[in-house]
Amino acid sequence: MTLSAPEWTVLVGGLRVLDQNYDYSKHGVFTDRPGQLSNDFFRVLTSMGYEWVPKAENEMLFNINDRESGTTKYTATRCDLIFGFNAQLRNIAEVYGADDGQ
């Protein structure tokens, strides 16, 4: 596949909210409406309202905790983390996560 960075980013985000993961896991499904195409993945990914905390028993997984309540809202993988960490991918994710990014 010769996808550009924006194409790869939107493909992963779209598959995540559509709840289409390899092993049907819920990691990276950052939405309360799984199966409905939305920009929820990018909104959660770029929100400062959440904190990424590594799971103690598995360094490849993260809990996405609400900063106010401290409760775990979602779980994520390192694959999801790269969209928030890498400058180019983060920039693309912020565009897709904008109010008019749907």
Q: What is the pLDDT of residues 11-67, one digit of tens each?
A: 999 999 999 988 889 999 999 999 999 999 999 999 999 999 998 776 789 999 999
Cβ 55 vs Cβ 65: under 8 Å: no
In angstroms, the CA 102 to CA 81 distance is 21
In angstroms, the CA 40 to CA 4 distance is 21
**pTM, to two decimals:** 0.88
CATH number of 5-97: 1.10.420.10
Cβ 83 vs Cβ 15: under 8 Å: no
pLDDT at 84: 87
In angstroms, the CA 83 to CA 43 distance is 12
